[in-house]
Amino acid sequence: MKKIIFLLIAIISLAFTTAQAQALLSADKYFWEYKGNATDTVGATVSVWQSAVQLNKVDGLFYNAKVKVADVVAGAGARVIMEGKIFADDAWTPIDSVTWYGGGTDTTVVFTHNTNKTYHRYLNFKVRRTAEKAKVSYIGLSLKK
């Protein structure tokens, strides 16, 4: 019985550490920022970190987004991915991705979409570890009509 309880606690703990809350923008808000914290590390225990934003807009949008990633261990590497979907129950569709190579300093990955409007209602920022440990320092998103 103790093993079952321990296993359930371990599973619940893992679910909380890998799941990130989804942000909801108000209808009049066109800027969103996420400040990283100590738990935003991808490495030995968590290989994928993500944060979703519900845009809450009625028309197509242009966007500029930046994801700042830093080494936790020298030689870190990751795939920084931006995904979108229209309805809450849709699967995420890849929009763009960039391979990030560490180097001891913070590096910013930029996603820009200023030529054609996008009609995604949700955006998801994902960092998938490829080597060593990395940390999400910051995400900035700017939307425009």
> What pLDDT digit, counting tens, does each position of 82-115 carry?
999 999 999 999 999 999 987 755 689 999 999 9
pLDDT value at residue 4:
58
In a domain, 17, yes or no: no
Instruction: Give me the domain span that covers residue 35.
Output: 22-144
In a domain, 15, yes or no: no
Helix or strand (DSSP H, E) at 9: helix 2-18
In a domain, 84, yes or no: yes
> How far apart are alpha carbons 109 and 103 in whole angstroms?
14
Closest CA to 121 of 92, 142, 98: 92
pLDDT value at residue 140:
96
pLDDT value at residue 43:
85
CATH, residue 132:
2.60.120.260
pLDDT value at residue 19:
42
Give the chain's residues under pLDDT 50: 6, 10, 13-19
Number of domains into which the chain is organized: 1
Neighbours of 14 (CB within 10 A): 12
